[in-house]
Amino acid sequence: MDFRKLLRQAKADAVHERNNIPKKVQEKQSTDEQKESTAKLVFAFSPRTVLNLEDYAVPSCHIKSIYYMEEWINEVEEASILEHVHAAPSSAWVELKARRLQVHGGLVTTSFTPSRLPQWLCILAQSFVDAGVFHAKFTPNHALINDYAPGEEILPHEDGPMYYPLVAIISTGATGRMTFRRHRNTSPQDAPFYLNLARRSLLIFTHDAYTDYLHSIDNVGIDNSTAHRISLTIRHVPTA
């Protein structure tokens, strides 16, 4: 296996992935119409209390800045998230080659013009501050919702320097597999790290995992289920 070639390809795919989204997303900001579509729904979500992230470091993982929690949300909360995701009009979705996407909080390219998150995503954002995952100064102000049908994926990419380097991902609907592959300071021993993200789980990654690794999602529907995986990627984008 030509590892260098694989890495080069992964990097090219990552750039491709990043560059392709904004063009399609430009006309798809959370408009008032889209916000109204969820405003009338009740969001069933209980407040969170402070957690100790180190308790959730993945034991088998050599990357020290990845944390994973099963059942971060309960079944009622999962159903309520899915109800809000599906209440968005079809115009809120950007159709990509192997998934579809909603962008909330504003378009992130080489610049960022923030727009207010819908109320239910503000509640989720605040829950990460209450849990002590994000400092209040870096309250999440941005959310991507990815919808993967069975067999769909996100190619290896890094989230890049526009975001504060801390990512919270809530998984709903179905399991997917995340892979972390080192792409900076690579050594031959750097095997990819695979992590199945169960529905209702929370994944947090930061530090090295954010800066030195590409991440990707595949294996949605590998169990022959027809369910979609809907993930919420919640982050903070610094403003000026």
Q: Kindly state whether residue 201 participates in binding ligand AKG, applying the rule CB under 6 A.
A: no
Q: What is the 3-state secondary structure (H, E, C) of 52-97?
A: CHHHHECCCCCCCCEEEECCCCCHHHHHHHHHHHHHCCHHHCEEEC
Shortest CB 85 distance to ligand AKG, Å: 13
Is the CB of residue 161 less than 8 Å from the CB of residue 198? Answer: no
Say whether residue 17 binds Fe ion (CB under 5 A).
Answer: no
d(CA 31, CA 115): 9
* 21/32 Cα distance (integer angstroms): 22
d(CA 112, CA 103): 13
What letter would DSSP give residue 48? -
Shortest distance (Å) from residue 170 CB to Fe ion: 14
- Does 233 bind ligand AKG (CB under 6 A)? Our answer is yes
23: Cβ contacts below 8 Å, ≥ 6 apart: none
219 binds, among ligand AKG, Fe ion, none (CB under 5 to 8 A by kind): none
**Is there binding between residue 152 and Fe ion (CB under 5 A)?**
no
Q: How would you write 129-170 as a 3-class SS string?
A: HHCCCCCHHHCCCEEEEEEECCCCCEEEECCCCCCCCEEEEE
How far, in Å, are 121, 188, 227, 239 from residue 44 at the CA level? 12, 47, 22, 30
Size of the site for ligand AKG (CB under 6 A): 9
Contact with ligand AKG (CB under 6 A): which of 142, 183, 200, 215?
A: 215
Of 78 and 159, CB closest to Fe ion:
159
Q: How far is the CB of 200 from Fe ion (least distance, A)?
A: 20
Binding mask of the shown chain, residues 44 to 73, with x at each position contacting ligand AKG by CB under 6 A = ------------------------------
Interface with Fe ion, residue 159, by CB under 5 A: yes
Q: How far apart are CB 73 and Fe ion at their closest, in Å?
A: 20
Shortest reach from residue 13's CB to Fe ion, in Å: 12
- 217 is in the binding site of which of Fe ion, ligand AKG, none (Cβ under 5 to 8 A by kind)? ligand AKG
Residues 219 and 171: beta-carbon distance below 8 Å? no
In the window 145-174, what residues touch ligand AKG (CB under 6 A)?
146, 154, 159, 169
Q: How far is the CB of 80 from ligand AKG (least distance, A)?
A: 19
> Nearer Cβ to ligand AKG, position 122 or 167?
167
* Cβ neighbours of 180 (radius 10 Å): 23
Give the binding site for ligand AKG (CB under 6 A): 144, 146, 154, 159, 169, 215, 217, 231, 233
